[in-house]
A and B are shown apart, each in its own frame.
Chain A
């Protein structure tokens, strides 16, 4: 059976001032439709590189990336990205930021429908009240919510998130994780999310893709998170299976891929 998203023998070599740098070597990954994947690994191992190849922002040096059996060539709104630093345009309001994406992907739809779609997606992330604010006037967590709304509004085939909550404090991060789970339960998107937070990976994902250290990083292990949904962080805290899964990721990261830092 062919996968929805299929990375085959991906190599990535960067040309740097000090010569060639082989970041990824022979990365193979199959993702099914509606799956939520977490990509975890030590900083600098090549997680963003994998995600950017799927986004089309980078071209793999070798191998192919297929989405719905078609080769990925260049970026496009069917692979929406939520960037770590929100990357909202500061001269546009919250709703205008989302509208920019909606106008692009729903160019053929009437204006009223597009406006409603903007508000619908802001409601999904609980940001409709801030629709007319500018990014400079809202908190980091709220900006990230808007970034998610903008990505969701594109109705992407794959939603890509690069450490979306990495810059947030623990409490805000927990709120956003809950929102992501709530949205995922409603929309059942195919999601590839980079994180360096083990609890986040176990809480949110169906499978955890663990990457080895670079250079020439590749996928070390894949852990299936067979915790039933809906998941609640408080209940999971007492769940021995949750702790077992968490322990497996930690073991991979801190024993098998111990990083001398």
Chain B
């Protein structure tokens, strides 16, 4: 029995603990389900990274233009991340020496240092790739 639509539920954190560990064991041994999981996670990732469309002003009060939906709030995080890539704003500890802080540089410097550690692993590299 393959996992089928449980794969999406697994990805979305919609499986209970028992079903989740069953899914993990199955995934670890079934290349078919792994590639299907890969396909749905790729689709999901692309939908989540669609840019946020700005509604006309009459639909949203101006003070709420930055509202983040509390539960998953994915849309706006993506927008924020995109904004961060386009303009890295920020200043050094010495306010007169204005050095922009960019999230990717911060993550890269962390991972560079972490890679000296014998505990370094690929998950750390993922942090940079998927900043």
Do A and B interact with each other, yes or no? Answer: no
